[in-house]
Amino acid sequence: MCTPLLSNTALRRYSLIALRIKHMTPFNIKNINDISQIESTGIDDRLQATNTYDLIQYGASLQPDKIALSFIASGNSYDQPIQLSYQNFLQQINACANLFSSLGTQPTDVISYLLPNLPITHAVLWGAETAGIANPINPLLEADTIKNICIAANTSIIVALGDSEIWQKVLKIKDDIPSLKTILCISESQAETDQILNFNQQLQTQPKNQLNFHRTIHKTDIASLYHTGGTTGTPKLAKRTHYNEVCMAWMINTAGGMEQNSQLLCGLPLFHVNATTITGLCPFSIGAHVIILSPAGYRDTSIIVNFYKIVEFYQATFFSTVPTVLSGLLQIPVGDCQIDSLKYAICGAAPLSIELFKRFEQHTQMKILEGYGLTEGACASAVNPKDGERKVGSVGIRLPYQKIKIAQINHNEITRESKIDEIGHILIQGPNVFQGYVEEIHNKNNWFGDWFDTGDLGKKDKDGFYWLTGRIKELIIRGGHNIDPLMIEEVFYQLEQVKYAAAIACPHPRVGEIPVVFIELQPDTTLSIDQLMQHAENTIGERAAIPKEIHLIKQIPLTLVGKIFKPKLRWQITQAVFQRELDPIDTIDQLEIQVSEDKHHGTRVDIIVQSSENIDNITATIKQKLSGYTLYYELHCTKN
């Protein structure tokens, strides 16, 4: 049985829905009461489809000839895009789905892809969800990590960019993934073997106006597996259903005020839920226009340099971003660019500094809608109301149909719901919340019935606004005193010379942890450590939170979605502390300290020692020196 591109029945049905949607006044969301009013109608009565393929097909039916995707090769050629209409885009999705099906893909089979931001990346993603289960993977991960993700996902097909470093990683790991059957190489010249097929050539043989296989996609079917962590040991893969993703698209479109004439800039990577949802399924579901900002997105400096020209050229209305991108854009003059088409920047992924928030809005004269979400919630859970008061520093009010609870938890049990303005664990529940992790070990202690513990700490105020106060594992606990790193970082962001600030828990033998801060300054600015420390001492009201050390570094480590990567900084400071403790031992000939993530202990320190002295004596001395530290370490001593 074949599913046509747009059947007559579908066209009639979609036309009626489109007529109703076209004449429906967008929701005005000013406060939590408006959310409750929206919820007086069940979400199922608001959805145009219950799976991602039908939802994109619906969006394409609104104006099949309209441009769905514009692709910019670089910021310097922003006015020379490659463009796809909705009809052509849906044809690409069909062809990809048919190709996967022809290779034996069943609804429970996993297609992993390692691709930069390209139009075909979207086609691969949604085609994979149509035929089986999609597994987006960060192509910049190390080969062994990619291998572990594929093993955990039980990958049957890998789609990867040929003639690249990505391809070399695939060749390195392909024989170590037991479930892998086929590799599809996106390349003009790749020769085919029994296992490796040329994606471009194979795609050209597939029907594109219809699906040539029959599948009834149930809303409870798993649509995707997203990697959310677990860089050592077993990766954490979040299972999300088609219904999770479809509901999420409706929630974000409603809360963000997205419409068919919206123009969205895509600069975040298409292996990350923010990009695939906010600049993917959301606009595709309503027939809006997505502009892909080069294969590298915001990591392409030419995109940042030309950003405001791009906004003017495409009359962009939205862009989704993270705080570090806003900080970079602050350094680019708007000049005479007309950017008043921009309604909002939707900012998430990490708490946004109040100072950065104010400076960016003043710089661009546009609004920031700060929000909160995670992969496990299909992308978002809260956002500041687009039509009402935005509380700077908060992540806004909950999305329609998304429940959020702040709770006190003790010994893996909810003891009570937190009071107004009382910090507790952030729990989420709703039709967008995922179905758990693939490996059961990662589900342990994360669920309370159907409430998921996000691992974040926060509070709710009297108006229903939520405020993040940190992640549980990022809290600095000094002698039993909990210190929120965000409180320290905000102080440094008051200084315009500070580009990034990251407060980290540094191991201490007496009080357990003390706060230290890593700072990256803006280009061509100078501040001394003494000046920074003086500012902290004069500004931080909580004495225990004043950092004991400040480290100026050339570049703060960032993830590919622009978050400050704090684990690397924690490992760096831990390595320095252990080095300082053990360097004075004159009986050690050679010393190496390695710090890494550990799936059982959180952090692991490996101490590698060579000495010509008695090994037992060396071991005893080292253990005595480190007796005050609670971090897990292993000692490896060899005699010269």
What tens digit of pLDDT does each residue of 69-116 get? 999 999 999 999 999 999 999 999 999 999 999 999 999 999 999 999
Q: Tell me if 469 is assigned to some domain.
A: no
CA distance 275 to 291: 12
CA distance 51 to 61: 16
The residue among 564, 586, 610 that closes a domain is 564
The residue among 509, 541, 564 that closes a domain is 564
Q: What is the pLDDT of residues 26-71, one digit of tens each?
A: 799 999 999 999 999 999 999 999 999 999 999 999 999 999 999 9
Q: Tell me if 40 is assigned to some domain.
A: yes
Number of residues assigned to the chain: 640
Q: Is 289 helix (H, G, I), strand (E, B) or coil?
A: strand
Q: Tell me if 470 is assigned to some domain.
A: no
Work out how many domains the chain is built from and give that number. Answer: 3
- 131, 178 Cβ separation under 8 angstroms: no
Q: Tell me if 465 is assigned to some domain.
A: no
**Could you tell me if 556 and 603 lie in one domain?**
no
Amino acid identity for residue 346 in this structure: I
Q: What is the pLDDT of residues 475-486, one digit of tens each?
A: 787 866 678 788
Q: Tell me if 468 is assigned to some domain.
A: no
Vertex 572 angle, CA 566 and 574, to 5°: 100
What's the pLDDT band for 350 if we cut at 50, 70, 90? low
**Could you tell me if 544 and 634 lie in one domain?**
no
**Could you tell me if 555 and 574 lie in one domain?**
no
Among 390, 619, 282, 26, which Cα is nearest to 382's? 390
**Could you tell me if 500 and 583 lie in one domain?**
no
**Could you tell me if 210 and 104 lie in one domain?**
yes
**Could you tell me if 363 and 493 lie in one domain?**
no
631: pLDDT strictly greater than 90: no
**Could you tell me if 188 and 326 lie in one domain?**
yes
Please, which residues bridge with residue 633 across strands? 605
Q: Which helix (H) or strand (E) holds 390?
A: none
The residue among 433, 460, 487 that closes a domain is 460
584: pLDDT strictly greater than 90: yes
Q: Which helix (H) or strand (E) holds 51?
A: none
pTM of structure = 0.82
**Could you tell me if 609 and 535 lie in one domain?**
no
- Residue 274: partners with Cβ closer than 8 Å, 6 or more residues away: 268, 320, 322, 348, 349, 373, 379, 561
**Could you tell me if 284 and 153 lie in one domain?**
yes
CATH number at residue 442: 3.40.50.12780
Q: What is the pLDDT of residues 279-334, one digit of tens each?
A: 999 999 999 999 999 999 999 999 999 999 999 999 999 999 887 788 889 889 99
CA distance 252 to 258: 8
**Could you tell me if 125 and 70 lie in one domain?**
yes
CA distance 174 to 170: 6
**Could you tell me if 60 and 207 lie in one domain?**
yes
Q: Tell me if 387 is assigned to some domain.
A: yes
Are β-strands 397-398 and 403-410 bridged in parallel, bridged antiparallel, or unpaired? unpaired
Average pLDDT value for the chain? 90
CA distance 310 to 312: 5
- Residue 589: partners with Cβ closer than 8 Å, 6 or more residues away: 610, 611, 612, 640
Looking at 85-99, 322-336, 340-354, 443-457, which range is the least confident one?
A: 340-354
CA distance 406 to 424: 5
**Could you tell me if 360 and 492 lie in one domain?**
no
What's the pLDDT band for 393 if we cut at 50, 70, 90? confident
CATH number at residue 492: 3.30.300.30
Among 580, 571, 527, 575, which Cα is nearest to 552's? 527
Q: Tell me if 62 is assigned to some domain.
A: yes
Domain range for 602:
568-639
- 640, 587 Cβ separation under 8 angstroms: no
CA distance 57 to 13: 12
Q: Tell me if 312 is assigned to some domain.
A: yes
Q: What is the pLDDT of residue 16?
A: 43
